[in-house]
Amino acid sequence: MLLGVNIDHVATVREARKSFEPDLITAAVLSQLGGADSITVHLRQDRRHIQEQDIIILKTALSVPLNVEISSAGTMLEFVCNIRPDKVCLVPESPSEVTTEGGLNLKSRKVFLQTAKAVKKLRANDIEASLFIEPETEMVDLALKAGADAVEINTKDYSESESLSDIDRAYDSLLKIASYASKKRLIVNMGHGLTYDNVSPIARIENVTELNIGHSIVAKAVFYGIEKAVKMMRKEIDQA
């Protein structure tokens, strides 16, 4: 299973002082050395961490695919189509949220039409178009209807559940949706709140191509360095 490493929070530390360090490119290169199969960044509308210049430099510096998360509601679509990262994942976005809170509400006609238009533009520029969605069959069907190449299934319920019964219920939902989306010939990725402690069961799910993990790796990197932190996550996934 592939590991996508989200390095947003390296930029969060940098932006806390509006400084030049820690250097995002160094973090990306060391993540690659640690076993990252792709690098993910989220270009938010408020630019709270990742900046346009980061993406421009990352596009030329990486030897693994670059995955950029954006909201199709903002002005970033034209930018990413000009830069042409390998992958773009469309996500919902709220200015008040600490991090992405849920999947795209494709049941909303406005959101669906906006998303489908963005997907069409991404694919026209040879960019893999992914949609961040909840683990529901209707959302998979709507993602397919919108023309997406891939879906990233939100693992928040699994990651944040506290009782064993809730964890089991959320995990079962992920098992079923991965199988369903794969049968629809969509690339299936997963992410949100995955850690060293909870990733192993997710890594055992068939039909999942890639896991996107950020905060837990960057938190571990504070003590061990990012290359080792990625290696440690890579080991958890490979030994699952």
**Known catalytic residue at 138:** no
**Known catalytic residue at 9:** no
Please list the helix, strand and coil fractions of the chain in percent, rounded to the nearest 5, in that order: 50, 15, 35
d(CA 60, CA 83): 10
d(CA 86, CA 67): 6
Candidate list 9, 192, 210, 227, residue with the active-site label:
192
Exposed (0-12), middle (13-18) or buried (19+): which is 86, by Cβ within 10 Å? middle
**Known catalytic residue at 215:** no
Candidate list 49, 69, 134, 210, residue with the active-site label:
69
Candidate list 9, 42, 49, 236, residue with the active-site label:
42
| Contact present, 50 and 14 (Cβ < 8 Å) | no
d(CA 128, CA 14): 29
* CB hemisphere CA count around 174 (13 angstroms): 28
Residues with active-site annotation = 42, 69, 192
